[in-house]
Amino acid sequence: MTAITPELVAAHQLTPEEYQRIVRLLGRPPTYTELGIFSVMWSEHCSYKSSRLHLKKLPTRGPHVLQGPGENAGVIDIGDGWAAAFKIESHNHPSFIEPFQGAATGVGGILRDIFTMGARPIAVMDSLRFGPLDDPRVGARNRRILEGVVSGIAHYGNCFGVPTVGGECVFEPCYNGNPLVNVFALGVFRQDRIFYARACGVGNAVVYVGAKTGRDGIHGASMASAEFSEESKQKRPNVQVGDPFMEKLLLEACLEAMETGAIVGIQDMGAAGLTCSTCEMGSRGGTGIEIELARVPQREAGMTPYEIMLSESQERMLLVVARGREEEVFRIFRKWGLDAVAVGEVTGDGLLRVKHHGEVVAEIPSRALADEAPVYDRPRTRPLRTAPTEGPAFASQNLKADLLRLLGSGDLCDKRWIWEQYDYMVRTNTVLGPGADAAVLRIKETATSLAMALDGNGRYCYLDPRQGARLAVAECCRNVSTVGALPVAATNCLNFGNPERPEIMAQLVEAIEGMGEACAFFETPITGGNVSLYNETLGEAIYPTPVLGVVGLMKTRPPVTPAFKAEGAHVMLVGGLGACTLTEFGSSQYAKVILGELWGLPPALDMDYEKRVQAAVREIVNAGLAESAHDVSDGGLAIALAESSLEGIGAEVDLPSDMRPEFLLFHEGPSRVLISTRQPGQLERIAARYGVEALRIGETKAGTLRIRQRGRVLVDCAIEQLREPWRLGLERLLKE
Amino acid sequence: MKFGVVVFPGSNCDHDAWWAITHNLGQTAEFIWHDSESLGNVDAVILPGGFSYGDYLRCGAIAKFSRIMRAVERFAREGGLVLGICNGFQILVEAGLLPGALIRNRSLKFICRQVVLRTETDQSPFTSQLSKGRLVRMPIAHGEGCYVADARTLEELEVEERVAFRYLDNPNGSMNDIAGILNAGRNVMGLMPHPERAADPLMGSVDGLLIFESMVAALSHAR
């Protein structure tokens, strides 16, 4: 018997107060195995103890929401009796320690969350943040991490057979020691086939399926709940190893087994493995679970109960099967060559009871683990920021050179090198894939398509977390609206530093509140998500980086893409030219890339105007009036015009404004969408009906992009010349 | 016509092939489990894309030992039409039903991309509805699609006009820009690009349908 010393408690990242709480809940000191169980279940990663209080401020209900937060994934009604399950999750810490496997198992984990609900995954997207690839000090490491993460995502998603259809990839020095890997997945199913992670029916069998349990990933959840230090590299064994082939078999076997009607509840074994799945299923079902660890299929000999309970070996599921119908389920798993073993049963006593060769090694009330974890109202001050309020005086020497430099910069250049490594078409539903404002997937069984986008902006949030989060919601909804879809629900991944620092806690709370306000306003309730804290290395926190995923609904039809299609179309700016001050310009890509600075505030946002712009754009696109449509965001109007021109048809535009040329071309004010059309009058009438500006700024023109301001030429550039830095930007940075 | 789509553990383009045949082509199709001994009464066989058995040893190397492959070999020997797409092509090569080998892409990376192919022969049951020289568009999605063969095999393929399709802009380093080949009997074709992903206007191309339509024409003719 291992003695429970204060040192052992501390090594489990439990505070003395938390330990006393455990003793109180049990009425006795915990065993070593129980201590391990509590430490993972009460880790930040599993218990949300720092964020839970504030997450309640997020809107979670809406007319399309069938299942909000609290299950493995949120579920929305997509019409015709069909539903979509989706969620985003982070795998930041493992991806830093071991990029390939860290990212791969991130994909594996979120896919299991989706098919656990009974849905077949049809799309994955990734939001990635790395340190700059050309960083003089750690550029080589950043490049290695990027390459590892991308090939890990490709390896897992491609083999599993789910298309990776979009996402974002951004570079900032604050991610040098702490890259972000956020993976979104979405699946579809019939509304009458939703499965829940609940252990119901006393006497029903608890069945373990999938890969065998090994010693990998023990304390992964706790690792994800601590800052990084020099010793973190030694935690490589805490990172799990993924097997996408096994997961593909598990998917097919689970979906087939669900058809039998014998499965009462199901949960995947992700973070905290067998521990989390047993106590959460019991807690949700209001029941207990008793398991015998000797029956758990094991990869290694001599594993202790502690190790078996805390292992995070991948590709495993826990099922509750109606008593007497086990064989129906076993037969299906045998067909797919997978282990399926009854390891215990549902009990009526509300306890998680773990036995090892008949001896009880842990006996804990399920609710104590899952629902009675400590909740902290951590102290907070003002959000951390050191950036100046006012910006430097500057004047562009050459606007065209600035544009070309921006197009070749890490954040704005072509990301083809990344997404061509992903199979973005498998399952033949991808109507609009990577490189567009939003991805569009058709649902073969209905006339509906789903649009989806991921957005987040660490720079904006660092300057003002509340406003940055609101802008992320606005942009994500705008992206979905730009392809013609109505945004109906959202999922969020909140990436922040150490919440025990009051200025970081303030960032988290401000961002959650801002996101809540905007999600309520844009009617996109949050149906689930993930919080990743302690994203710090050696005391240096990342920018606060809330990432939002929005899902929208539309009728299935050929896509409207960002590219101008033919000469002679009217180029229009729905939402108008916007406005900008020097203070707001400090958050722009121009300030970052050309000036190498960050100051001031994020762009201003009028949510009411934004919402009307989005509604107008949806109507324009769905009326078939748009030949092309492209959201104006990072890099501003000049970048949007350039991006729409890259396929060869450019434009000649003249902007009726007295703004400073640098602002006019590169400010990132929201609520603007660039559209080319043959019916400008009809488009104007729709815009007028929504009370939004629709400015005719010029015409499409083959081979060239010319931008004037009241007649004076600001930029005159052959498309070939635009394309070169944009296409080669990422590869150039990777070859540094 | 009834197409049989073989399902190996790890096949992941099986549903796509089935959908293209049943919904875009308007023929019937059924799945055939890898452990079956017989192909049943199908008129043609498709070995779909994916990662059979995880492709862990070498692409297609384990799938060739699965029980259904004995039936596929018999079917091919008797003149039945067998189309191997992507991983299916890799399996046909491993099984010795087609010559040569498919190795890692020159870039050593997985590539997913729309490509343009040139039809090299219309003298086959897979290409009769195309004309020689016709350009078609369909996607590739593979990590190991670089076709290699010894000089004599290549010579034979060229002389006998058994190169069915060639890449216009070689994406993976394949010898002679080869994207798809026929066996000597011209009833077995392996193709790295995905015709089933180019069978619906919503997916950006319907050129892949021409291959399936050619198969239907050949089968109708044989009846």
Quote the ipTM score. Answer: 0.97
Residue A158 with chain B: CB contacts under 8 Å: 51, 110, 141, 143
Query: A608, A420 in Cβ contact below 8 A?
Result: no
Tell me the C-alpha distance between A90 and A105, whole Å. 11
Q: Is A471 on the interface with B (CB under 8 A)?
A: no
Collect all residues of chain A within an 8 Å Cβ-Cβ radius of residue B54: 159, 243-246
Residue-level pLDDT at B222: 78
DSSP structural state of residue A550: E
Chain B residues interacting with chain A (CB cutoff of 8 angstroms): 9-10, 12-13, 15-16, 19-20, 23, 49-51, 53-56, 109-113, 139, 141, 143, 194, 196-197, 199-203
Contact A425 B139 (CB under 8 A): yes
pLDDT digits (tens, 9 = 90+) for B115-170: 999 999 999 999 999 999 999 999 999 999 999 999 999 999 999 999 999 999 99
- In this predicted structure, what is the pLDDT of residue A121? 98
**Nearest residue in B to A337, CA atom:** B9
Q: Cα-flanking dihedrals φ and ψ of residue B213, to 5°?
A: -65, -35
Q: Can you tell me the distance from the alpha carbon of A480 to that of A131, in angstroms, rounded to the nearest whole number?
A: 28
A68 is written with which tokens?
Answer: 């909000």
Which residue of A425, A556, A560, A561 is the best one to mutate when testing the B interface, meaning the one whose CB has the most B CBs within 10 A? A425
Q: Which of residues 313-342 of A touch B (CB under 8 A)?
A: 336-337
Tell me the catalytic residues of A: 45, 91
The span from the CA of B126 to the CA of B216, in Å, is 9
Q: Strands, E, within chain B: which ranges?
A: 2-7, 28-33, 44-47, 81-85, 101-103, 111-119, 135-142, 146-148, 163-167, 178-182, 188-191
Residue A371's pLDDT band, with cuts at 50, 70 and 90, is: confident
Strands B188-191 and B81-85: parallel
Closest CA to A534 of A87, A215, A232: A232
Q: Please give the residue that has the higher pLDDT: either A273 or A694.
A: A694
Contacts of B6 (CB under 8 A, 6+ apart): B14, B31, B32, B34, B45, B46, B47, B48, B68, B72, B88
Output the average pLDDT for chain A.
95
The mean pLDDT value for A699-726 works out to: 98
Q: Is A428's CB within 8 Å of B56's CB? A: no
Is residue A231 scored above 70 in pLDDT? no
Cβ–Cβ gap A420/B50 under 8 Å: no
A154 touching B (Cβ < 8 Å) = yes
The residue of chain B with its CA nearest to that of A424 is B112
Q: Measure A155 CA to nearest chain B CA, in Å.
A: 9
Selected residue of B85, B87, B112 to mutate for chain A interface (largest A Cβ count, 10 A): B112
B155 catalytic per annotation: no
Spatial contact of A692 and A575, defined as CB atoms under 8 Å apart: yes
Asked if pLDDT for residue A421 goes beyond 70, the answer is yes
Is the Cβ pair A444, B19 closer than 8 Å?
yes
Nearest to A188 by CA among A210, A213, A162: A162
- Whether B50 sits inside 8 A of A161 (CB atoms) is yes
Asked if B9's CB is within 8 angstroms of A558's CB, the reply is no
Q: What is the pLDDT of residues A180-193, one digit of tens each?
A: 999 999 999 999 99
Q: Does residue A440 contact residue A483 with C-beta atoms inside 8 Å?
A: yes
Would you say residue B46 has pLDDT above 70? yes
- What's the whole-number mean pLDDT along residues B3-22? 98
Question: What totals of helices (H) and strands (E) does chain A contain, helices first?
Answer: 26, 28
If you measure CA to CA, which chain B residue comes closest to A161? Answer: B12
Assign A229 a pLDDT band (cuts: 50, 70, 90).
Answer: low
Q: Write out the two tokens for A622.
A: 């769905």
Q: Is A6 helix (H, G, I), strand (E, B) or coil?
A: helix
Give the number of other Cβ atoms within 10 Å of residue A267's Cβ: 25
Does any CB of chain B come closer than 8 Å to the CB of residue A161?
yes
Residues A104-159: tens digit of each pLDDT: 999 999 999 999 999 999 999 999 999 999 999 999 999 999 999 999 999 999 99
Report in angstroms the alpha-carbon separations of A48 from A42, A375, A381, B107. 8, 8, 20, 43
For B63-85, how does the pLDDT look when each residue is reduced to its tens digit (9 = 90+)? 999 999 999 999 999 999 999 99
Q: Is A556 on the interface with B (CB under 8 A)?
A: yes
Average pLDDT over residues A226-250: 75
In angstroms, rounded to a whole number, what is the distance separating the alpha carbons of residues B124 and A562? 40
Give the SS3 label for residue B112.
strand
- Yes or no, beta carbons of B15 and A427 under 8 Å apart: yes
B106, pLDDT greater than 70: yes
A151: chain B residues, CB-CB within 8 Å: 109
User: Mind listing the pLDDT tens digit for each residue in B164-220?
Assistant: 999 999 999 999 999 999 999 999 999 999 999 999 999 999 999 999 999 999 999
What number is the average pLDDT over the span A327-354?
96
Bridge partners for A75 per DSSP: A67, A85
Tokens of A210: 């999938």
Q: Do B109 and A421 touch (CB under 8 A)?
A: yes
Chain A residues whose CB is inside 8 A of the B111 CB are 420-421
- Mark yes or no for CB contact A426/B53 under 8 Å: no
Residues in B touching A450 (Cβ below 8 Å): none
On chain B, the residues whose CB falls within 8 A of the CB of A246 are 54
Q: Is a pLDDT exceeding 60 seen at residue B44?
A: yes
Contact B110 A154 (CB under 8 A): yes
Percent of chain A with pLDDT over 70: 97
Residue A221 clears pLDDT 70, i.e. is over it:
no
Residue A556 to residue B202, Cβ atoms within 8 A: yes
CA A187 from chain centre, in angstroms, equals 15
Q: Which of B19, B55, B59, B110 should one mutate to test binding to chain A, selecting the residue with the greatest count of A CBs within 10 A?
A: B110
Helices (DSSP H) in A552-700: which residue ranges? 582-585, 589, 607-622, 636-645, 661-666, 680-689
Q: Are strands B163-167 and A694-702 parallel, antiparallel or unpaired?
A: unpaired
Query: How would DSSP label each residue in B146-207?
Result: EEE--HHHHHHHHHTT-EEEEESS-SS--GGGEEEEE-TTS-EEEESS-GGGSSBGGGTB-T
Of the residues B13, B59, B86, B146, only one is catalytic, namely B86
Residue B160 Cα, gap to closest chain A Cα (Å): 34
For A220, residues 6+ apart whose C-beta sits below 8 A from its C-beta are A94, A238, A239, A240, A271, A312
pLDDT above 90: percentage of residues in chain B: 96
Mean pLDDT of A468-485: 98
Residues in chain B closer than 8 A to A427 (CB atoms): 12, 15-16
Q: Which residue has the higher pLDDT, A2 or B5?
A: B5
Beta-carbon separation of B20 and A158 below 8 A: no
Residue A518 pLDDT > 60: yes
Using an 8 Å CB-CB cutoff, list chain A residues near B110. 154, 158, 420-423
Question: What pLDDT does residue A226 have?
Answer: 67
**DSSP string of A597-632, one letter each residue:** ---S-PPP--HHHHHHHHHHHHHHHHTT-EEEEEE-
Q: Do the Cβ atoms of A2 and A8 come closer than 8 Å? A: yes
Residue A537 banded pLDDT, cuts 50, 70, 90 = confident
Q: What is the pLDDT of residues A62-100, one digit of tens each?
A: 999 999 998 899 999 999 999 999 999 999 999 999 999
The candidate with the shortest Cα–Cα distance to A360, out of A30, A38, A40, is A30
- Mean pLDDT of the A406-423 span: 98
Surface-to-core class of residue A597, CB atoms within 10 Å of its CB (0-12 exposed, 13-18 middle, 19+ buried): middle
Whole-number pLDDT of residue A270: 81
Q: Please tell me the predicted confidence (pLDDT) of residue B15.
A: 97
Looking at chain B, which residue has its C-alpha nearest residue A253?
B9
Instruction: Using a pLDDT cut of 90, give the percent of chain A over it.
Output: 91
Put simply, the answer to whether B141 touches A444 (Cβ < 8 Å) is no
pLDDT on residue A233: 53
Task: Output DSSP code: residue A69.
Answer: B
Contact by Cβ (8 Å): A127, A472: no
Instruction: Tell me the nearest-neighbour CA distance from B206 into chain A, angstroms.
Output: 12
